Structure 1
Amino acid sequence: MTAPASIHLITERDVEDLRRFELANRQFFESRINARPPAYYEDGGVEVAVAEALRDAEQDRGYQYLIRDGAGRLVGRVNLSHVRRQHFHSCELGYRIGEADNGKGYASQAVKLVLAQALGPLRLMRVEARARADNAGSVRVLQRNGFVQFGRSFRSFEIGGAWFDVLCFEAHAERAGLTA
């Protein structure tokens, strides 16, 4: 059993820890998800990204959280992006767990925690998420947290010259019992 995970909104104090995490896991992430631009890894790149994340949160456009284990070690990230208030009250969920900590339950815990934030204090009504169809672990994380598949996008994601199907999921405040 994995030690409990916690999440916290990213801050400027997290820059060095985040840089180490991203550099240590760069190859692993780039083999599975969209690569970050090379400038992200250059001097000042993480600082720029953190400053942008802080602006996004301040302007209610997105919220980036870091996932830490019970000892406070950075094990991953979970984000709420593309916040749309008017008419939709929705956002998109994304997450990544470092290679050494994959399969230990951190993603499931973090998604549960961030979903509670999104559908609770942030007052969003719907959270969307996507997972590669061949990523059984990520699909399980979403399903365990009450996400329901609503679609499939065929050959819609390319990485390393290979095309993948993407499954589309959603979670609703109403289904979670958070609305009247």
Structure 2
Amino acid sequence: MIALTPVSLNDCEDLLHFEQENRAFFESQVTARPAGYHSPAGIQAAVERALREAQEDLGYQYLIRDAQSQLIGRINLSHVRRTHFFSAELGYRIAQRACGQGHASAAVRQMLDLAFGPLGLRRLEAHARSTNPASVRVLQRCGFVQFGHSRRSMELQGVWHDRLYFERHREATS
């Protein structure tokens, strides 16, 4: 069982430890964050930015905690667009030690409930490298459908990768 909690300034120490502990793992999977991010000041600035974005309805960041309240991941909605679209982009990352245990799927399902419930969104997008089958499976398990494929569109550690684009719509109520 996992729980999503909105990120807060009280989470900075936990978040710093999480990011430092998983830095090499994350950087092998996604583009690296700037070096200054992995410091107490960098984490605090990132959390403050996340709080501003939530207040301005531009994005929402949550921490994923396990049954023992240990930080095992992050999940977010970014690029929130209300007028005409009511959409956002979904992103997530799970600690290396917690991969393969269903946490990402559970977190995405909870985020779908938030996005399509209290946040009032109608459509979410997500993308994954074509060489990241675990992430693709998470999205598919959670009802996302692939709608695009960009070739050689992301460089990671000197190698160009294809990206797959997915979408999920709120079920029609009428």
TM-score when normalising by structure 1 = 0.95
The answer for the alignment partner of 1:55 in structure 2 is 52
Deviation at 1:34, TM superposition (A): 1.1
Q: Does 1:127 align with 2:116?
A: no
Gaps of 5+ in 2: none
| Helix, strand or coil at the partner of 2:83 | coil
Q: 1:95 aligns with which of 92, 96, 103?
A: 92
Q: 1:11 aligns with which of 8, 13, 22?
A: 8
Are the counterparts in 1 of residues 16 and 39 from structure 2 also a CA contact under 8 Å? Answer: no
The answer for the alignment partner of 1:42 in structure 2 is 39
Q: For residues 91 and 38 of structure 2, what CA distance do their matches in structure 1 show?
A: 20
The answer for the alignment partner of 1:116 in structure 2 is 113
Q: For residues 157 and 39 of structure 1, what CA distance do their matches in structure 2 show?
A: 23
Gaps of 5+ in 1: none
Q: For residues 39 and 74 of structure 2, what CA distance do their matches in structure 1 show?
A: 20
Aligned residues: 174
Q: For residues 11 and 47 of structure 1, what CA distance do their matches in structure 2 show?
A: 9
Deviation at 1:43, TM superposition (A): 3.9
Deviation at 1:138, TM superposition (A): 0.4
Deviation at 1:171, TM superposition (A): 0.3
Q: 1:25 aligns with which of 19, 22, 27?
A: 22
Q: For residues 134 and 49 of structure 1, what CA distance do their matches in structure 2 show?
A: 29
Runs of 4+ in 1 over 6 A off after TM superposition: none
